[in-house]
Structure 1
Amino acid sequence: MPADLRTINTAGVLCHFAQATRYTQFTLHEQNQKWSTPIVLVVSEELPPGVITHAQAAQPHKGGIVEDSRSARAALGVELARSAGEIARRWFDTSALAVESKQDGSPVTQADREIEQYIRAQVAEHYPDDSFLGEEFGETTGTTQYRWIVDPIDGTKSFVHGVPLYANLIALEEEGTIVAGVINLPSADVLMHAERGKGCWKNGKQVHVSDKTELDGAYVMATWLEDWHPDSIVDLQSAGAVIRTWGDAYGYMMVASGQAEAIVDYTTQAYDLAPMPVIIEEAGGMFTSLDGARDFNGGNGIASNGAVHDSVLKIVNQG
């Protein structure tokens, strides 16, 4: 074996991978027989607690078939988000980034398209019958109970202006319910993920929402304030809340990790919010649309620590 390769045993399968990079693709082998259809995965050399690889979650079988399970897909989602972050950082650090405008006036870049194409290709390789919804290339309908929902770069305006609070978002929906989600903030070096019943994890440490019960001193995030009714801003401030425009996925990460109490989005698409229900709820909080429904596809959303949810919802719904 070459000196630059290491060997590990994962789920009874001998695996070789190069030490040269932090996240490296490798091919699974049996001890004495290469698989007829090798499976290429991405792993971290030093995985933090609470993170499992797709190789660990998906029990392999000869012929390259992996276990058809929620946890295997959730683990793959985390790995794909990490790889998406590497692509994003490459574009973020270059002056060659070209920005175009979509029909709705929102910006799109080569990075958005390259990341979504990469994630689509990887999902199609591992789970070709799953459905897939992405911001840049629309929806592909599959035949399983699973649908992947991807925003390759959430916060493209931040991305193109050199603000390091953009994110890669991946969600897994099972029979209409979001069961796993990932928020990756590559330039901030933060990855948050959750799976139903397994908690919410930020850089390998389990996190929880804050225990603040009053609006006085509560931090309420907004992606932007243009949609807000002026009375809502005044009433929140009168109640002692602190309003900050640390929005997009970054704001939801702050709520889930207890750094803020709520975030309100008046105008969204499904791929903007898809990971948020499972991430916020597994951290002990609450996510709803602005009409109080447990729905990420209603064109708006609010996430909170739960204790201040009704108070914020009442104020932001006026006008």
Structure 2
Amino acid sequence: MSDDRAARIGLALRLAERAGVLSKHYFEDGTLSVQTKRDGTPVTEADREIEQTMRDAVAAHFPHDGFVGEEFPDDDGDSGYTWIVDPIDGTKSFVRGVPLYANLIALQEGDEIVFGIINMPSAGIVVHAERGKGCFRNGAPVRVSDRTTLDGAYVMATWLEDWEPEVVGDLRTQGVTVRTWGDAFGYAMVACGFADAVVDYTTQPYDLAPMPVIIEEAGGRFSSLDGRRVFNGGNGIASNGLIHEALRTYVTAPLAGHQDRRGVRL
């Protein structure tokens, strides 16, 4: 690993910790102000403060890096590194007092995500991975599950409004248990081996940027629903790798006639 990458990963770890402190403070304070953005999704002062804090720190330490976030316009860079962040993934959970929200940070070097972190401060869970170094939960190495069939598999979903009813029914006939309240929590559970897969039909790049390195370093597979190894394809599926193609066949079956998925993940 280059010194340049190591320095950036060190900063990413510190920023995740800082984001956790800020978001947990707002989460527990009880006076959170919620606004609605033009796309109808909620945003809070916590989202904006956390992202601005990250942007300021990156600009101070690595002024030529790019930065992509949810709340402010993208910053182009020419260093070869880009930071991709979601200050609070799961804002709807956050504003309702559900502790399964997360702070997401990914570091992209060239075209490759080389570091990713899911920080869930109110749940006490931090999952992070560096390319070639493994995946860790709260400092201990983790691996995906070893389930080889859909029968008995646990599949996470951020929300079922995006799922065609026949998909859930078909999976149930295969012995699959579908559980909701996914967001980043679902990907963390797959990386740690507690769930076997997670499916998202509607995403933004900052929702999924940390997931390729986290899932792959835990021994699993991440792709878009059409099978590409991309995090910016508008959707995503992560699994232990062993059931990936079998599950993908079921969850993509209705897409041929429904190309325009509606909804925005928060």
Alignment TM-score > 0.5, same fold: yes
Does structure 1 residue 95 correspond to structure 2 residue 33? no
Alignment of 1:56-75 (within 5 A): 69-75=4-10
| Distance in structure 1 (CA, Å) of the matches to 2:139 and 2:73 | 32
Aligned to 1:242: 177
Aligned equivalents of 1:171, 1:177: Cα separation in 2:
10
Aligned counterparts, 1:110-259, within 5 A: 110-259=45-194
Structure 1 partner of 2:263? none
* Contact 1:229-1:318 within 8 A present in 2 as well: no
With the length of structure 2 as denominator, give the TM-score of the two structures. 0.94
Q: Which stretches in structure 1 are left out of the alignment for 5+ residues?
A: 1-56, 58-66
> Which of the residues 213, 229, 232 maps onto 1:297?
232
3-state SS of 2:17 partner = helix
Offset of residue 75 of structure 1: 2.1
Q: Distance in 2 between matches of 1:278 and 1:295?
A: 11
Secondary structure in 2 aligned to 1:149?
A: strand
Give the partner amino acid of 1:127: F
2:16 is the alignment partner of 1:81: yes
Kindly tell me the number of residue pairs found equivalent between the two proteins: 254
Greater shift in the superposed pair: 247-256 or 137-146? 137-146
The reply to whether residue 264 of structure 1 matches residue 199 of structure 2 is yes
Cα distance between partner residues in 1 of 2:5 and 2:135: 16
Counterpart Cα distance in 1 of 2:199 and 2:31 = 34
Deviation at 1:68, TM superposition (A): 5.1
Cα deviation, 1:178-232, whole Å, max 9, x if unaligned, reads 1100000000011111010000011010000000101111100000011111111
| Separation (CA, whole Å) in 2 of partners of 1:270 and 1:157 | 18
CA distance in 2, matches of 1:80, 1:88: 12
Rg (Cα) greater in structure: 1
Q: CA deviation at 1:246?
A: 2.9
Higher RCO by CA contacts (8 Å cutoff, separation 6 or greater): 2
RMSD across aligned C-alpha pairs, in angstroms? Answer: 1.1
Aligned to 1:315: 250
More helix by share: 2
Shift of 1:76: 1.5
Runs of 4+ that moved beyond 6 A: none
- Residues of 2 paired with 1:235 and 1:71: CA distance? 46
Offset of 1:142 from its aligned partner?
1.0
The one-character-per-residue Cα deviations of 1:80-119 (angstroms, maximum 9, x if unpaired) are: 1011000001100112210001111110000000000111
Structure 2: segments with no counterpart, 5+ residues: 255-266
The residue aligned with 2:259 is none
Q: What is the DSSP-based 3-state SS (H/G/I as helix, E as strand, rest coil) of the residue aligned with 1:187?
A: coil
How far apart, CA to CA, are the structure 2 residues paired with 1:177 and 1:276?
A: 12
Q: Work out whether residues 286 and 303 of structure 1, in 8 Å CA contact, stay in contact via their aligned partners in 2.
A: yes
| 1:26 paired residue number | none
Identity fraction in percent: 62
Report the Cα offset of residue 138 of structure 1: 2.1
Bigger strand fraction: 1
